[in-house]
Chain A
Amino acid sequence: MNVNTQSNIPMASAPLAADPHRSSLPAIAVRQLRKDFTLHGQGGARLPGLNGIDLDVFPGECVVLTGPSGSGKSTLLRILYGNYSVGTGSADITAGALRLRLHEATPRQVLAARRFCIGYASQFLRVIPRVPAIEVVTEPARRAGVPRQQAQERAESLLRRLSIPERLWLVPPATFSGGEQQRVNLARVFCFPYPILLLDEPTASLDAANSEEVLSLIAEARAAGAAILAVFHDHDLAGRVASRFVTLQHAVSLQHAVTLQHVVSLQADRPKGPSSDAP
């Protein structure tokens, strides 16, 4: 069965030389994934999001998604986290003994996969009122069963590396700057050794030194065997951690796609995409 699956790997994901993790199943396997958004408020307009994607990401790989704004990079990450539903096609998550078919998973299964297998960092921190930054960072690790002390130590080392000053650790991040919030968000996702990491523009609002630190966190996670799928704004930075690039073609004209993102982000009640991407 394994052999069969492996022979199906498309050439686009040709193995890296001498990668010890390569003998395993893909951690993420996406086949003919389509996603449309039907906007009932707009007379039932159907807006294409993803147009038949095939993708494998193996443990120990960092695949960087590229493509024009509106080509569905963030949409793909959100689908793999279960934040958006699968339209048609399939998306399988494999981590250790666990396999989740996202296209047919129950909410409880998705929650379990999020708890133990999939870390997702969007560009924006969803702040929880009154919860101190250090607890925001340790929360996912503690939910996954890491003892408090251990999670705390890991969180402190991450916050230090991402240059969040110690005096802010007990402050709720609501008042933090955009860059600080993003670093809290990244510390949160790196606080637990998720076998799968989904990173949406992890360096978007960071300065050079912090971007360097994020690159080394990604490299460490990769070396530890994590399968990483990331969207990067900066191609040069991406090139330093990517094991391979995958380009998404936009499903529709750019103009249309940007409109789609705008409409969806309005619906989704969260800011989305750097404004510099606007046409």
Chain B
Amino acid sequence: MSEPLALPLAHDDAPFLRVHQLSVWYGRQVGCDSVCLDLSPGEVLAIVGESGSGKSTLLRCIAGLQRPTSGNVWFHHEGVELDLHALPEPARVRLVRSHLSFVAQNPRDGLRMRISAGGNLGEPLLANGARHYGQVRSAAMRWMERVELDPLRIDEPPMHYSGGMQQRLQIARSLVNQPRLVCMDEPTGGLDVSVQAKLLDLLRRLVDDLQLSVILVTHDLGVARLLAERMIVMQQGRVIEAGLTDQVLDDPRHPYTQLLASSILS
């Protein structure tokens, strides 16, 4: 057989995010242990595992919200590789603000519940240097439409919204600065099934239309299958299986993954 010819990648660009040997220890308790992963533009990666497996810890380190005990989060930025957690604080904050965003499971953690929806959407824009109030407001209204919220409710605070609407507002807030990476922690957890289906459909379309790169933490394997092309499975802080989502779920090799895959209801 001749040498294999180069096959173009589904995602043309090389990885822009590399997590290298990332570990977090809470005293003697492991958060995550020597995790490596990478992500290319336009890719959606799911992190699954049971509670306490370290998936949220890992996500928070990647999103710049938490400092790892050791290891690196390399971020390819304007031609250079930056180590997110070794940057001086002002540079790190700038990078996180403009290129990363985080969607929390509970919208209350990601939104300001008492200021208006428009304020919630405008704040990240203002933090990033936008100064023209009219433009900020019209951008906010466009994003509300994009996530299927009524732009006429722009002046209402999210505490008047339903849970599903709050989550859509939080997702809009995470996207207004057009980040290169969106980190989502159980974005559909805590919502009832019909609202969840609607949100999943919305996420799927946003990911496609905007070519978003997403790291998605979930314990719902159905959500992972629907949104992510690749997945990693974590247990006790370690990555125990990684690969194509459908291969990991349909042909699982690790005992824990087999248990997980065989426990799916539906």
Give chain A's interface residues, CB within 8 Å of chain B: 1, 5, 37-41, 78, 82-85, 92, 97-101, 107-113, 115-116, 126, 128-131, 266-270
What 1/0 mask marks residues of chain B from 178 to 221 whose CB sits below 8 Å from any chain A CB? 00000000000000000001101100100000000000000001
Give every chain B residue within 8 A of A112 (Cβ-Cβ): 7-10
The main secondary structure of chain A at its interface with chain B is mixed
Given contacts A82-B244, A111-B10, A130-B201, contact A266 B262 (CB under 8 A): yes
Give every chain A residue within 8 A of B252 (Cβ-Cβ): 267
A92 and B7 form a contact (CB under 8 A): no
CB distance from A100 to the nearest CB of B (A): 6
Give chain B's interface residues, CB within 8 Å of chain A: 1-2, 4-5, 7-11, 40, 197-198, 200-201, 204, 221, 225-226, 229-230, 243-244, 246-247, 249-255, 258-259, 261-262, 264, 266
A85 and B261 form a contact (CB under 8 A): no
| A131 to B221 CA separation, bound complex (whole angstroms) | 19
Give every chain B residue within 8 A of A5 (Cβ-Cβ): 1-2
| A76 to B246 CA separation, bound complex (whole angstroms) | 16
B259 and A97 form a contact (CB under 8 A): no
Most chain A Cβ neighbours within 10 Å, of B230, B249, B251: B251
A100 and B7 form a contact (CB under 8 A): yes
A41 and B255 form a contact (CB under 8 A): yes
| A39 to B258 CA separation, bound complex (whole angstroms) | 8
Q: A99-B5, A112-B7, A131-B201 are in contact. List 5 more A-B contacts (CB 8 A).
A: A92-B4, A108-B11, A112-B9, A115-B10, A128-B226
B204 and A128 form a contact (CB under 8 A): yes
Residue pairs across A and B with Cβ atoms less than 8 A apart, 9 shown, are A37-B251, A82-B247, A83-B246, A92-B1, A107-B229, A111-B244, A112-B9, A112-B10, A269-B266
Give every chain A residue within 8 A of B226 (Cβ-Cβ): 128
A128 and B4 form a contact (CB under 8 A): no
The main secondary structure of chain B at its interface with chain A is mixed
B9 and A109 form a contact (CB under 8 A): yes
A41 and B1 form a contact (CB under 8 A): no
Given contacts A40-B255, A41-B255, A130-B198, contact A98 B5 (CB under 8 A): yes
A85 and B201 form a contact (CB under 8 A): no
| A99 to B9 CA separation, bound complex (whole angstroms) | 12
B258 and A129 form a contact (CB under 8 A): no
Residue of A nearest to B265 (CB): A269
| A270 to B259 CA separation, bound complex (whole angstroms) | 15
| A1 to B2 CA separation, bound complex (whole angstroms) | 7
Give every chain A residue within 8 A of B264 (Cβ-Cβ): 269
| A267 to B257 CA separation, bound complex (whole angstroms) | 10
Residue of A nearest to B263 (CB): A269
Give every chain B residue within 8 A of A98 (Cβ-Cβ): 5, 7-8
Residue of A nearest to B251 (CB): A84
Residue of A nearest to B198 (CB): A130
B253 and A38 form a contact (CB under 8 A): yes
The 6 closest A-B pairs by CB, nearest first: A40-B255, A129-B197, A84-B251, A130-B201, A112-B10, A111-B10
Give every chain B residue within 8 A of A267 (Cβ-Cβ): 250, 252, 258, 261-262
CB distance from B118 to the nearest CB of A (A): 28
CB distance from B94 to the nearest CB of A (A): 30
Given contacts A108-B11, A115-B10, A130-B197, contact A269 B259 (CB under 8 A): no
Give every chain A residue within 8 A of B251 (Cβ-Cβ): 37, 78, 83-85, 268
Given contacts A107-B244, A109-B9, A131-B201, contact A99 B4 (CB under 8 A): yes
Most chain B Cβ neighbours within 10 Å, of A41, A82, A107, A115: A107
| A100 to B8 CA separation, bound complex (whole angstroms) | 11
Residue of A nearest to B230 (CB): A107
A268 and B261 form a contact (CB under 8 A): yes
B244 and A100 form a contact (CB under 8 A): no
Give every chain B residue within 8 A of A101 (Cβ-Cβ): 4
